[in-house]
Amino acid sequence: MNSVQNSFVKLFISKPRNFKNDVLSGMTVALALIPEAVAFAFVAGVHPKVGLYAAFMMGLITAIVGGRPGMISGATGAVAVIFAPLVFKVKDIALAQGMSIGEASTMSLQYLFAAVILMGLIQVAFGLFKLGKFIRLVPHPVMLGFVNGLAIIIFKAQFGQFTVNGKLLDTVPLLVMGALILLTMGISIFLPKLTKAVPATLVGILVTSFLGAFINSKYPGMVRTVLDFVQDQNASVTTLKVGLPPFMIPSLPLEWESFTMILPYAFLAAAVGLIESLMTLTLVDELTNTRGKSNLESIGQGLANIVNGFFGGMGGCAMIGQSMINIRGGGRGRTSGIAAAILLLAFVLFLAPLIEMIPLAALVGVMFMVVIGTFEWSSLRLFKKIPASDFMVIVLVSVVTVIFDLAIAVFVGIIVSALVFAWEHGKNIDADKTSEKGKTRYDLKGPLFFASVASFKELFDFENDGEHVFIDFKESRIWDHSGIEALQNITERYAKENKKLHLLNLGPDCQQLLGKAQNIVELSIKEDAHWHVADDQLD
Q: What is the pLDDT of residues 85-103, one digit of tens each?
A: 899 999 999 999 998 888 8
pLDDT, tens digit, 9 for 90 and up, residues 100-119: 888 888 999 999 999 999 99
445 - beta bridge partners?
430, 475
The Cα 45–Cα 313 span in angstroms is: 13
The Cα 471–Cα 477 span in angstroms is: 11
What pLDDT band is residue 512 in, cutting at 50, 70 and 90? low
What pLDDT band is residue 531 in, cutting at 50, 70 and 90? very low
For residue 534, pLDDT over 50 is answered with no
- Please check whether residues 385 and 453 belong to one and the same domain: no
Q: What are phi and psi of 474, to 5 degrees?
A: -60, -35
- Please check whether residues 523 and 397 belong to one and the same domain: no
What's the pLDDT at 7? 40
Contacts of 445 (CB under 8 A, 6+ apart): 428, 429, 430, 431, 432, 475, 476
Mean pLDDT of 135-151: 83
Domain-located, residue 117: yes
SS3 content of the chain, % helix, strand, coil (to 5): 65, 10, 25
Of 10-24, 376-390, 499-513, where does mean pLDDT reach its minimum?
A: 10-24
Domain-located, residue 421: no
Mean pLDDT of 329-354: 92
Domain-located, residue 422: no
- Please check whether residues 235 and 106 belong to one and the same domain: yes
- Please check whether residues 341 and 456 belong to one and the same domain: no
The two beta strands, 317-318 and 73-74, are antiparallel
- Please check whether residues 380 and 451 belong to one and the same domain: no
Report how many domains make up the chain.
2
Of 234-243, 325-334, 518-527, where does mean pLDDT reach its minimum?
A: 518-527
Task: Show which of 416, 449, 467 is a domain's final residue.
Answer: 416
The Cα 309–Cα 120 span in angstroms is: 9
What's the pLDDT at 525? 63
- Please check whether residues 320 and 442 belong to one and the same domain: no
What pLDDT band is residue 416 in, cutting at 50, 70 and 90? very high
Strands laid side by side in the 524-526 sheet: 430-436, 439-445, 468-475, 500-504, 524-526
Give the percent of the chain with pLDDT over 90.
41
- Please check whether residues 357 and 475 belong to one and the same domain: no
- Please check whether residues 157 and 122 belong to one and the same domain: yes
Please give the mean pLDDT across all residues of the chain.
86
Domain-located, residue 466: yes
What's the pLDDT at 181? 95
- Please check whether residues 213 and 183 belong to one and the same domain: yes
What's the pLDDT at 443? 93
The Cα 242–Cα 352 span in angstroms is: 8
For residue 189, pLDDT over 70 is answered with yes
Are 471 and 488 a contacting pair, CB within 8 Å? no
What's the pLDDT at 16? 57
What pLDDT band is residue 527 in, cutting at 50, 70 and 90? low
CATH number at residue 438: 3.30.750.24
What's the pLDDT at 529? 42
The Cα 365–Cα 342 span in angstroms is: 24
What's the pLDDT at 533? 31
Task: Show which of 381, 416, 451 is a domain's final residue.
Answer: 416
- Please check whether residues 131 and 236 belong to one and the same domain: yes
Domain-located, residue 286: yes
What pLDDT band is residue 9 in, cutting at 50, 70 and 90? very low
For residue 60, pLDDT over 90 is answered with yes
Mean pLDDT of 212-241: 87
Of 8-17, 57-66, 191-200, where does mean pLDDT reach its minimum?
A: 8-17
What's the pLDDT at 517? 54
Domain-located, residue 135: yes
Angle in degrees, 0-180, between the axes of helices 360-374 and 19-44, rounded to the nearest 10? 110
Give the percent of the chain with pLDDT over 70.
91
What's the pLDDT at 168? 92
Are 160 and 38 a contacting pair, CB within 8 Å? no
Task: Show which of 362, 384, 416 is a domain's final residue.
Answer: 416
Question: Among 282, 358, 362, which Cα is nearest to 320's?
Answer: 282
Can you give the residue range of the structural domain that contains 19?
2-416
- Please check whether residues 463 and 390 belong to one and the same domain: no
Cα dihedral value 142, 146, 152, 153, nearest 10: 140
What's the pLDDT at 514? 67
- Please check whether residues 412 and 500 belong to one and the same domain: no
Contacts of 441 (CB under 8 A, 6+ apart): 433, 434, 435, 469, 470, 471, 472, 531
